[in-house]
Amino acid sequence: MLVQHCLLCLHSSVEGFGLEAEARMTTWHIMMPAENETDSTHSHDVSEGRQLLLKAVNRVWTELMHSKRQMLEDIFKVSLPCNDRGHVDISTARPALEEPALKSWQNHL
């Protein structure tokens, strides 16, 4: 249940988990400067990083909905809207899942 909250937060912004991130750099770290930062040398990296992040979020979301959709609907007592192919889009599911997923996340914290 916590995964939904994380995916919804990541889909809307890269911040918002209620925890402070450790300041450490790894081989896979992509700089994500603040929105008000206008350094053009980082803009391409930020754009690419954001696209990679959204692609990963959407892939995990698709797999989650494919395998756990019915269970999530039962647990959260919601009906997730799906398109004509039967897929649940993260943007259209946000209103139904945002509040119960946030409550689950806050209980976890």
With DSSP H G I counted as helix, E B as strand and the rest as coil, what are the percentages for the chain, rounded to 5?
Answer: 60, 0, 40
Q: What is the pLDDT of residue 60?
A: 92
Burial 35-61 (b: 16+ CB within 10 A, else e): eeeeeeeeeeebeebeeeeeeebeeeb
Q: What is the pLDDT of residue 98?
A: 87
Q: What is the pLDDT of residue 76?
A: 87
**Average confidence (pLDDT) per 10 residues, the chain, 109 residues:** 75 54 53 55 65 87 90 89 87 87 86
Q: What is the pLDDT of residue 39?
A: 55
pLDDT digits (tens, 9 = 90+) for 46-62: 677 778 888 888 899 99
